[in-house]
Structure 1
Amino acid sequence: MIVFPGVSSSQVRYQYPSGGGVPMKKAILLFLLTVFSAALIAETVTLEYWMWDPSIKDKVEKAIAKFEETHPNIKVNLTVMEPKNYWPKMRTLAFTKKLPDVFNMSSGYLEEWAKNKFLLDLTDYVENDLDKDKFFFNLFEAGKRISGTDRYYAIPFALVVTVLYYNKDAFDEAGIPYPDENWTWDDFLDAAKRLTKDKDGDGEIDQWGFWFYGRYAHVESWIYANGGRLINRENMRFEPDENALEALKFLVSLVKEHKVAPMPKEMKGIRQQDVFPRGLAAMWVDGSWNIENNRRIIGDKFRWGIAPVPVGPHGSKDVAYGWPDFVAISATTKHPKEAWEFARFIAGEGLTLDMYMAGKIPSYKALTMSEEFDEVGKQPAEKGKVLRELASRKLLNSFTMGWSEWRGYGAAESMGLNGLIDAVLNGEMTFDEMLDQAYKNVNRVLKRYYK
């Protein structure tokens, strides 16, 4: 009997034939095929992959099938959940050390999960087993900053940034050149004044020059465009610098002094993302992910475009406010090498543009640099050019542990910093009162996470 290493005698046995049996060469060949088949079966690795977007489940399944064709020793089981159910379930799995091998990861949780050692450190893989030229590598660096470490804990597969949405028809009517990357705050303010109109002469504004409230994407976009920051990363405390305060005061002046934007309470009952597409404001700064909603509501009612957020007097055109979505690997996976192979695939070459909602930017350059990404014939016409340029910038944001609580996000939007800024805009609190309360409220949260 012959026994091969790695194959037990219970898996395969063979006695050499004698007499008039099967010819020796044929018998050995059959034996070897049996051995290798058994070894292949024995070495097959099964990975669990969880993600948060049921709308692309079929497309992800096709991508997995493609991966399995080129990696016959790896099988991937897919689990898809609605976003509202995804994180409560994932958090439970994290604390019980039962996370799937590979899973989608949010920038908002990256620092917390990295520091709690839920995520596999991918630094060696990124530095030694990744073709960096195929990705917008600045997104990897953004992930490092968000994690609060000097290590890579996730692979970015998409990016969102904030942009200035503008109504081209309104600009044309007012005789204002369209905004571009060279626009300053003075250019913006001049346009906002000329675009704020009482069209029917009833004493009520029918078209505001601009729309915003205390929302993170509405406010931080201007802070980073002015070279500012809200959080002192040295001590992890809320300490807005002079550039941030300048941006906040500028925004408040749009409502209180220049009257080119409404008080937030004046838009009560209207979804914030519907104000611009309904023609109630001629300009609006928010996430690039709103492109799809704009297309659906505006249709062909008016022409509109996007541009970078105007740069402040102390800002730089090399910076953008935005953040990636990631694919991460569990620190407890039993198959780190195979998990890396799949994570790298499903964050890059395994994806197709029809897996991305309009306004999301693939981190894999072959997709973002393609003509298909431009969506020629659809609004906004500048989509490809503007988003590509923003994707190449240094990405900054205010994410920390406890961010959703101190910032006021989702169901807690009226609370946190969001609610305080709204109170100033609505005339319920002075700027200084807001700032004093923000120091207390935000740092109370941050002190729980950063001793």
Structure 2
Amino acid sequence: MRKSRLVGAVVLVLTLLFACTPAGGGDERPSDVLVALPADNPGDIELRNRLAKQFMKDNPGIDVKVQVIPSNGYNEKIFTTVAAGNPPDIFNSGDIVIPTIVSKNYALDLTELIEKDDYDVSAFYPQVIEGLTFENKIVGLTDNWDTQVMYYNRDLFDKAGLDYPDATWTWDDFESAARALTSGEGPDKIFGAVHGYWFAPVFDQIWANGGDIFSKDQTECLLDQPEAVEAIQSISDLAQEGVIPTEQQLEGQGPNQFLLAGRAAMAVDAGRWAAFELLDGKVDWAAAPIPKGSEGRANFFHLSMYAITRTSDSPENAWEFLKYMVSPEAIKLAVEDMQGIPSRPGLATSPAFRNNALVKQHDALEPFLESLPTAHKAPYVPNFEEYNNTIDGGLDPVWTGEETAAEATSKICERVEEQIAENAK
């Protein structure tokens, strides 16, 4: 009984949160369209407010409000309001939760609206529409896409007399250069590279080595297979060798902060969003595609989408604003500050995007376009976040050198398959 009261209280609080807290401040008019997004991206919040203002100017009969939600537990908060019957009309979410959104019926399938309006989805990159589709349902739309790349310090390469990384690089080339670029000891040590320990850069290595995370029927964990074990172990070996910092040596800093501080020559960790972090420093940096593995290149494909909630009170107006957010006009308004690559090819390769300072000074476009054919979308498995928590925690002893990849992944897969079976009941 105590648990049911607690759940009811949470639903009530979240319902009141959406009903009573507009992000715009003093204007308390009821909204025809309420757009929810997490608080951890101030630039996107500013952009959505700007787009809402322009949309209302062009469509005076529709009011749009942007609702900023605390990032911690954001998706669960959205899903709770859908279940309570008082959700936002549009919500922002990531690709890894698309299977959960579909399996729990949290969002509208946009297919009917697209067909009714004869809306041209072919104007987007095909990988974008494919990534936003699950079980033949188009879950949302987006104005940009992103993928994992490598960033590097030009000055450190010049000092070492090494050629800059390019699209021909293999993982062997990366390791060789990283060893040559490693120098010094203690707090003054410069690492040849820094590698992320979260799922995207780790999965990239597994895919590039011919492995995978889950079986095609999503009932088996494949991290204990030789291809995945070898890829995971190769990352750990570089850390134990001192070529890349361990998680402990990162001291809570992101890999790109190491690059920014001149303490690493290369960073394999992030997508284009990291370029905006790197602009804060004085390092002469550039981007390059992730090196190829034994089976070619593989790079995680990131999509941040906007979806219409299944129980929206105003789905037609929400659809109009959603179309506007991903329109050429709206994307052009965001092109200078867009953290990803425009989702429409015509805009991604336009002079306006190619000639902005970030692209021209730091090669922050071509490596992404070159990487698009080898991009891997997220593992579309319901409850992925739960399984990833198990994977992430289970790999910690590998990164410290306390366990081999084979030892750790055997235990990880046993637990993940238990979780899959439990969720299938």
TM-score, normalised to structure 2's length? 0.81
Asked if the contact 1:212/1:264 (under 8 Å) is kept, the reply is: no
Structure 2 equivalent of residue 403 of structure 1: 384
Structure-to-structure mapping, 1:14-413, within 5 angstroms: 46-52=32-38, 53-57=41-45, 59-84=47-72, 86-126=74-114, 129-144=118-133, 147=134, 149-198=135-184, 206-240=189-223, 241-256=225-240, 259-288=242-271, 289-296=273-280, 298-299=281-282, 302-316=283-297, 319-349=298-328, 350-352=330-332, 354=334, 357=337, 359-374=339-354, 376-378=356-358, 381-391=362-372, 393-398=374-379, 400-408=381-389
RMSD: 2.9
Asked if the contact 2:256/2:267 (under 8 Å) is kept, the reply is: no
CA separation of 1:313 and 1:344: change in aligned 2, threshold 3 A = same
1:220 aligned counterpart, secondary structure: helix
Asked if the contact 1:54/1:80 (under 8 Å) is kept, the reply is: no
1:204-243: per-residue Cα shift (whole Å, max 9, x none)? 8711112225321331122233343111131333113543
1:186 aligned counterpart, secondary structure: helix
Q: Once the 2 structures are TM-superposed, how far is the Cα of residue 139 of structure 1 from its aligned partner?
A: 0.9
82-91 vs 285-294, which moves further: 82-91
For structure 1, the residue ranges without an aligned partner over 5 or more in a row are 1-44, 409-415
Q: Once the 2 structures are TM-superposed, how far is the Cα of residue 158 of structure 1 from its aligned partner?
A: 2.5
More helix by share: 2
CA separation of 1:270 and 1:100: change in aligned 2, threshold 3 A = closer
CA separation of 1:90 and 1:181: change in aligned 2, threshold 3 A = same
1-side partners of 2:215 and 2:348: how far apart?
33
Name which of 391, 402, 409 aligns with 1:428: 402
Alignment size in residue pairs: 389
> Could you tell me which amino acid in structure 1 is paired with residue 349 of structure 2?
M
1-side partners of 2:205 and 2:217: how far apart?
22
What percentage of residue pairs aligned between the two structures are identical?
26
Asked if the contact 1:192/1:210 (under 8 Å) is kept, the reply is: yes
Asked if the contact 1:369/1:388 (under 8 Å) is kept, the reply is: no
1:105 aligned counterpart, secondary structure: strand
Is the radius of gyration larger for structure 1 or structure 2? 1
2:362 aligned counterpart, secondary structure: coil
1:189 aligned counterpart, secondary structure: helix
For structure 2, the residue ranges without an aligned partner over 5 or more in a row are 1-30
1-side partners of 2:235 and 2:129: how far apart?
31
Q: Once the 2 structures are TM-superposed, how far is the Cα of residue 174 of structure 1 from its aligned partner?
A: 1.6
2-side partners of 1:105 and 1:347: how far apart?
15
2-side partners of 1:291 and 1:348: how far apart?
24
CA separation of 1:261 and 1:49: change in aligned 2, threshold 3 A = closer
